[in-house]
Amino acid sequence: MADEKKLVLITGATEGVGKQTAIQLAAKGFSIVMMVRNKTKAERTKAEILKSTPGAMVDYIIVDLTSFKQIRAAAKQFNDKYPKLDVLINNAGLMYPDKKITGDGFELCFQTNHLSHFLLTDLVLDKLKLSKQGRIINLSSEGHKMGKFDPGNFNAEKGYSSIAQYCFTKLCNLCFTYSLADKLKGTNITVNAVHPGVVRSGFGGDSNKGWLKPIFAVARMFMISNEKGAATSVFLASDPSISNVTGKYFKNCKATATKGNTHDTGNQKILWNYSVEKTGAFKNE
């Protein structure tokens, strides 16, 4: 029955790894809710999912992750419509060529890749608590190994590099994963992070300009497909063998060690407290 299906909420599901994750999870019987920016792309992705899995439950909510106001409205829309949530996949991410400050006052990459998902996770957390076994999956990257943790430079106050800022946000994804997993120990919710692999997708398109263009052109020859890139997210969302596994970073469907500064509890606390202060999320955790 449809109401017995597990429900997954996924950001950035209209292209790349996110879309393939949605397609593969629908094929496994999941109901899909996409939080995406573009309605035309959402309709196109919905049609693709229904073509590959006729009869699947597919819905979408339009939201711009660069706006906390829109995230709050989108989360309310989700919470009002759905009685529970089984899997949250914080998939959306970007790398931008130039420094840009959002309407909320934060560097674009930092807000989109970290702060916005921090807020969204808290806003739907009560729905995850109603699942038999809720799962939170944060998309990180091996780029975290190059990320530098500097509390005075979260918003690139000391100078902007698209790659450096992206790697820093991937480090943030891991600090958030480990912090939240610790706070939710003993509950029905697990929290894990994933490296999808170096994927041949549309990611980085906005940065694929100037001196970066030849780098992306060469790198694409060694990248994996979106289908393969989605495999670990699908595994984390659906495999029963990891129902009690939390606070881990997965690569190629296996738990993998991360750089030491991701486990620095001082860094984790600084980032957590900053994120709480700036978003208003997790004040009770």
Catalytic residue among 166, 178, 249, 274: 166
Distance of alpha carbon 202 from alpha carbon 187, whole angstroms: 36
The answer to whether 108 touches 160, Cβ cutoff 8 Å, is: no
Distances (CA, A) of 115 to 25, 40, 67, 211, 276: 26, 26, 10, 29, 9
Contacts for 26 with CB less than 8 Å, ≥ 6 apart: 32, 49, 52, 53, 56, 58
- Beta strands 248-251 and 254-255, pairing class: antiparallel
CB atoms within 10 A of CB 237: 25
249 is catalytic: no
Instruction: List all residues 6 or more positions away from 245 whose beta carbon is below 8 Å from its beta carbon.
Output: 190, 192, 255
Number of CB atoms found within 10 A of residue 199's CB: 20
CA 90 – CA 25 distance, rounded (Å): 15
Q: 216: burial class by Cβ within 10 Å (0-12, 13-18, 19+)?
A: middle
Catalytic residue numbers read 166
